[in-house]
Amino acid sequence: MKTALYPGAFDPVHNGHIDIASRAALIFDELVVGVYDTPAKQTTFSVSERVQLMREALSEWPNIHVASYSGLTVNYARQVGATVVVRGLRVYSDFELEYQMALANRKLAPEMDLICLMTSLQYSFLSSTIVKEIAKLGGCVDGMVPSHVALALSRKYHGDAVTSAKP
Ligand code: ADP
């Protein structure tokens, strides 16, 4: 049984994340999506909100499990029995960061490997930051995030459920 860990802040989950997770779930027997509880950047959604939004987004995939974690990613990977860490790559700048992290993680856990999946073209522009910026300014995030995430964003920024009224 091959288990992989897909770690991230997921603040909040968007369709680019779902694309990577669902494709990784086809490669591995089990995929654990690890929601990092205290990323360097302050988060908009609490860790329990991020986990809940991710669980709902991935509920159709029986071999994907979602949980929060703290501390070193490699330690959490070991804890869940993962031998591979999965990350998504959008642009060249993602590669530089992932490469650096991969080498640092390799030093900490030589048995762990990193697999990077290339983003699907239609999600290459997506980031949680962009999605939040659009939602905050009242723009439509349909097609970028699942509907329950659009609702959560709308509630967070406008205290209501309007997600696509303004083009
Ligand atoms: P980070 O973990 O770097 O704080 P995120 O939580 O947003 O950032 O992303 C988690 C993982 O998903 C990272 O590997 C990131 O590169 C990847 N990712 C983010 N956006 C996309 C996208 N649009 N397409 C593919 N992968 C993505």
Cβ < 6 A, ligand 1 pocket: 8-10, 16-17, 20, 39, 87-88, 90, 94, 119, 123, 126-128
Ligand 1 midpoint to CA 20 (Å) = 9
**Mean pLDDT, rounded, for 82-99:** 90
- The helix/strand/coil state of 82 is coil
In a domain, 159, yes or no: no
Instruction: Give the domain range for residue 89.
Output: 3-124
In a domain, 160, yes or no: no
Name beta bridge partners: 86: 115
Query: pLDDT confidence of 162, banded at 50, 70, 90?
Result: low
Inform me whether the pLDDT recorded for 58 exceeds 50. Answer: yes
In sequence order, what are the residues at sequence separation of 6 or more whose Cβ sits closer than 8 angstroms to the Cβ of residue 60? none
In this prediction the pTM is 0.93
Order of strands, sheet of 64-69, starting from the edge strand that comes earlier in the sequence = 64-69, 30-36, 3-8, 84-89, 113-118
In a domain, 166, yes or no: no
Ligand 1 midpoint to CA 165 (Å) = 28
Query: pLDDT confidence of 166, banded at 50, 70, 90?
Result: very low
Give me the number of domains the chain comprises: 1
Catalytic residues: 17, 41, 90, 128
Tokens of 161: 């459920």
User: What CATH number corresponds to the domain at position 118?
Assistant: 3.40.50.620
Inform me whether the pLDDT recorded for 39 exceeds 90. Answer: no
Inform me whether the pLDDT recorded for 164 exceeds 60. Answer: no
Closest approach atom of ligand 1 to CA 128: 7
Query: pLDDT confidence of 161, banded at 50, 70, 90?
Result: low
